[in-house]
Amino acid sequence: MQKTTSGLKVLLAILSLLLTFLIWQRGLQESFDRPSVSPKLALNQREMAILAAPSLPKSLSQFLIGEDPKLELRKTLEKLEVDKISNRERLLLALLDSTEFNKNALLEKNFQESEFEKLRRSIVKGINEQEDQKVLLGKLDKAKIDPLLYRLYCVSAGGSSETCFDASVSRNNAFRLVLSQLIPLFATLIGVIIFLWQSLVYFRNRSTPWPEISALPLPMIDMVILIAGGFVVLGELVTPLIAYPISDLITRDIASPTKESLKVFVGYIGMTIPPLFILRQQTNSLKSNLLTGDLFQWGFNFIPRSALDALKGWLMVMPFVLLVSWLTTLFFGDPGGSNPLLEMVLSSRNFLALAVLFITTVLVAPVFEEFIFRGVLLPVLDKEQNRVFAVILSALVFALAHLSVGETPPLFVLGIGLALLRLSTGRLLPCVIMHSLWNGITFANLLILSG
């Protein structure tokens, strides 16, 4: 009977691995077709720079927005695909382009949005000299029009700096620009300093062993079934087929975008069920004397210390994640395939929708993913294999599980940082807090850049 069970387990593990490779291959390939948020973030940052410029000191302005923010915005807009450019972006490009031919080409078709259409007609009339642009400027409702569109049109119409400049809007954008650029810069510098200091401390005390890691007494084949079979095959492939209809039923009377956010939440909760159920069955098969003590070493008795360890870990890993992201873009360009959640956060203006996405990304996801990858998988790998191999493999699985080509390299580095934090502290809670901190700051930065 034992041989039969073992044979079935091996067959199940092999089948799970094969399906996992197929699912990951298809998921990563499909991620190329998903849009990247990078162009949108770059565009928003260029727009902020123009509006913020009047409120920034010259010394800071040179560093944050460069020589000519309008030229940079124009270059960014020109990189957008013609068939995907929005009416608002057409207006911006028309106001930034000096040639009448290009302006007419951009504005030849009517716009559905009433305020955009009014501005389009005003620009076209100004080009054709059918009416004085200053007269047209007076007909626009400043309170209802986009601040950047109004400013650019006002300047093109020959308006004075007092007329075209809105102090409150400029100060608001200056504040957002500083938050989005200077804080990450300072955090990176602090992270480099802490990393160098911690490295020096480690090499001075290299004989001091790290805390002992508690691992579930499960074989590697059980980890394959848990991760490949439970997390990937059942969680990422089968569960959505059940969770999406259920979420549609639950949210049928709820308006967008809250509906989409709730569907993401329900889908993610559904994805956690198969691996947790499999893990429960695996631990139930063990003898009770093998399951004594704090198996996952959460470390709830050390919350302040765990929070400090998480902050240090986040600061130290940030320079390496940013470096890998920059190198990936430098050598391979923007591969696209951003997580759809990033686009949802970037484009949503609904508080309830954002709250649901916040709960999903900053609370639920870190707890579940750290429990599976650093609470269960990493300790078993560390017990059964070489420690370096355990760190690299757990980080690679963590990165690939997100099914995003563009995010795989930085997530791999983040996974290494989380694994080292787990091994060096001997506790799981710092990893959860660091993961939550990473997602939370990414979430906040998207909100800042989205305006």
pLDDT of 341-384, one tens digit each?
777 777 778 889 899 999 999 999 999 999 999 999 999 999 98
What token pair was written down for 214? 């508690």
Last residue of some domain: 176, 191, 209?
Answer: 176
Q: Is residue 120 part of a domain?
A: yes
Q: Which residue has the tokens 């502290």?
A: 425
Q: Which residue has the tokens 């197929």?
A: 22
64-76 burial code (b ≥16 CB/10 A, e <16):
bbeeebbebbbeb
* Count of other CB atoms within 10 angstroms of residue 106: 21
Q: Are 448 and 348 in contact (CB under 8 A)?
A: no
How many structural domains is the chain composed of?
2
Residues 282 and 150 in one domain: no
Q: Is residue 23 part of a domain?
A: no
What token pair was written down for 50? 């123009």
Q: Residue 332 — φ and ψ, nearest 5°?
A: -120, 0
Shortest CA distance to 373 belongs to which of 317, 319, 426, 432? 432
Residues 93 and 193 in one domain: no
* Count of other CB atoms within 10 angstroms of residue 169: 17
Residues 166 and 239 in one domain: no
Q: Are 438 and 417 in contact (CB under 8 A)?
A: no
Rounded distance, CA 168 to CA 151, Å?
13
Q: Is residue 62 part of a domain?
A: yes
Rounded distance, CA 77 to CA 92, Å?
8
Q: How sure is the predictor about 420, in pLDDT bands with cuts at 50, 70 and 90? A: very high
Query: For residues 144 and 125, which has the higher predicted lDDT (pLDDT)?
Result: 125
Last residue of some domain: 131, 151, 176?
Answer: 176
Residues 166 and 132 in one domain: yes
Q: How sure is the predictor about 30, in pLDDT bands with cuts at 50, 70 and 90? A: confident
Q: Is residue 30 part of a domain?
A: no
Q: Are 423 and 391 in contact (CB under 8 A)?
A: yes
Rounded distance, CA 258 to CA 264, Å?
10
Q: How sure is the predictor about 4, in pLDDT bands with cuts at 50, 70 and 90? A: very low
Per-residue pLDDT at 18 exceeds 90: yes
Residues 135 and 192 in one domain: no
Angle of helix 340-347 relative to helix 351-358, nearest 10 degrees?
150
Last residue of some domain: 146, 176, 206?
Answer: 176
Q: What is the mean pLDDT of the chain?
A: 86
Residues 387 and 286 in one domain: yes
Shortest CA distance to 402 belongs to which of 318, 342, 450? 342
pTM: 0.89
Residues 159 and 292 in one domain: no
Share of the chain above pLDDT 90, in %: 39
Per-residue pLDDT at 141 exceeds 60: no
Q: Is residue 280 part of a domain?
A: yes
Q: Is residue 397 part of a domain?
A: yes
Residues 309 and 427 in one domain: yes
What token pair was written down for 443? 């979430």
Q: Are 276 and 193 in contact (CB under 8 A)?
A: no
Query: For residues 165 and 248, which has the higher predicted lDDT (pLDDT)?
Result: 248
pLDDT tens profile 180-210:
888 888 999 999 999 999 999 888 887 788 8
Range of the structural domain that residue 419 is part of? 182-450
Residues 189 and 167 in one domain: no
Share of the chain above pLDDT 70, in %: 90
Query: CA angle 184-438-383, nearest 5°?
Result: 130
What token pair was written down for 447? 């909100």
Helices (H) and strands (E) in the chain, counts: 22, 0
Residues 204 and 155 in one domain: no
Give me the mean pLDDT over the 87-114 stretch: 82
Which runs of consecutive H residues, i.e. helices, occur in 112-219?
A: 114-127, 133-139, 147-156, 161-164, 167-204
Residues 108 and 225 in one domain: no
What token pair was written down for 19? 């399906």
Residues 426 and 283 in one domain: yes
251-263 burial code (b ≥16 CB/10 A, e <16):
beeeeebbbbbbb
Rounded distance, CA 14 to CA 55, Å?
62
Q: Alpha carbon of 65 to those of 28, 46, 95, 301, 413: distances in Å?
A: 35, 8, 19, 46, 30
- According to the model, what pLDDT value does residue 11 have? 92
Query: CA angle 68-51-322, nearest 5°?
Result: 70
Rounded distance, CA 429 to CA 300, Å?
7
Q: Is residue 29 part of a domain?
A: no
Q: Is residue 11 part of a domain?
A: no
